[in-house]
Amino acid sequence: MVHKETTTSLFSSPATSPNCHSLSDFIFSIDHPPVISSSPSTMVMCVCRKWAIVRTSWTDNNPGRRFWGCPDPNSSCGFIGWYDEPMCARSKVIIPGLLRTINKLRKAMDDIKEQASKHEKAMEKIKEQATMLKYYLVYSWIFFVVVLLFLL
Ligand SMILES: [Zn+2]
């Protein structure tokens, strides 16, 4: 039996407001998902006859829990079975909170990088203007000396 599961990036944010802490966008429903094996040496074949790969779920129900999935992202196989055992209730509460914190820090870091990039560009412009002003100063002194020589 094949189950479907949707996964999202660890760092994707919900489409709702930034203050919304629900991960409902990531929710999927599986009543009794199979646990295939937690042995790293286990090989699992998906429905489309390819070796399944281990992926990580970032849903509210299974945050950080690994599962077997089809290696082909365009395939309809999707979820095959769980790699890890079911998660404890405490983990289901703690991990999404940590993920939200990571996402906020990532966003803040991206904003800082963007601002740093803007400041760097502004600094380049100022340096170019300073160089131009130096040339104007040198040319004006040369002009002044030439005019002075003509007058004398
Ligand atoms: Zn497949």
Distance (Å) from CA 10 to ligand 1 centroid: 23
Distance (Å) from CA 78 to ligand 1 centroid: 7
Measured CA to CA, the distance from residue 70 to residue 51 in angstroms comes to 7
How far are the Cα atoms of 9, 15, 39, 89 from residue 25, in angstroms, in the given order?
12, 8, 30, 20
Torsion sign over Cα 38, 40, 41, 47:
positive
Measured CA to CA, the distance from residue 12 to residue 93 in angstroms comes to 19
> Domain of 29?
1-152
* Domains of the chain: total: 1
Distance (Å) from CA 96 to ligand 1 centroid: 28
> pLDDT digit of tens for each residue in the chain (152 aa)?
444 444 433 333 333 333 333 333 333 334 444 555 555 567 888 888 889 999 999 888 899 999 998 988 888 887 888 999 999 999 999 999 998 999 999 999 999 999 999 999 999 999 999 999 999 999 999 999 999 999 88
